[in-house]
């Protein structure tokens, strides 16, 4: 198995997290650096979109590919922003824009429960009939006032009561151990080790 894996993301925050979690085992290359045209995310679930992205990156590079689709699901908003988390406030929206829309949508709402969800898909090649699919789920709640300077996306508004901290108040090491992406990557590493025996 090629130790080079293309990561199907242009998000530097995600790439940094993957590198911290998998960097010792694999050489991770960004699809952006390899000039991969992004896949159109036409799926209706995190798994569908991750699979589209992984197959697209593998097809364009000839390398094994790892993709995740992840986002924030808020109970009171019927799971929104969900698969639209990165563009909740519109295409090209910044983290600040997305967070502002989220807080506005939850104005007056008492049920603040939410979870981050990650679907991680690995394909050995573009037509891999048996991709490795792992998922992770990180429960918390949404707070109106941003706290913390770490992380990205909705992290400053995602409060974990057991820690009395937002995701943005955790160190990268703590977040990687607890987060939806950390859980999915840990499951992937175990699965990968089994298959490579």
| Residue 53 buriedness (CB in 10 A; 0-12 / 13-18 / 19+) | buried
Nearest to 34 by CA among 65, 13, 3, 69: 65
User: Which parts of 33-94 fold into alpha helices (H)?
Assistant: 46-61
Q: Which residues are catalytic?
A: 69
Nearest to 115 by CA among 190, 183, 56: 183
Q: Strands, E, within 43-172: which ranges?
A: 65-74, 113-123, 132-142, 158-160, 165-166
**Taking each helix axis from N to C terminus, what angle separates 180-195 and 12-22, rounded to the nearest 10 degrees?**
50
């Amino acid at each position: 198995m090629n130790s080079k894996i293309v990561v199907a993301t242009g998000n530097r925050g995600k790439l940094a997290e993957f590198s911290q979690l998998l960097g010792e085992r694999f050489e991770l290359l960004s699809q952006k650096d390899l000039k991969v045209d992004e896949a159109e995310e036409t799926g209706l679930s995190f798994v569908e979109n991750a699979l589209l992205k992984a197959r697209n990156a593998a097809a364009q590079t000839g390398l094994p590919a790892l993709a995740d689709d992840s986002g924030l699901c808020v109970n009171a908003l019927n799971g929104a922003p969900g698969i639209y988390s990165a563009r909740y406030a519109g295409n090209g929206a910044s983290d600040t824009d997305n967070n502002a829309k989220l807080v506005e949508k939850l104005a007056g709402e008492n049920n603040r429960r939410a979870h981050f969800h990650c679907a991680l898909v690995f394909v050995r090649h573009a037509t891999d009939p048996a991709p490795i699919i792992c998922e992770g789920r990180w429960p918390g709640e949404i707070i109106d006032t941003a706290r913390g300077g770490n992380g990205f996306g909705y992290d400053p508004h995602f409060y974990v009561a057991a820690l009395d901290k937002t995701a943005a108040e955790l160190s990268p090491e703590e977040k990687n151990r607890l987060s939806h992406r950390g859980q999915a990557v840990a499951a992937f590493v175990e699965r990968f080790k089994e298959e490579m025996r």
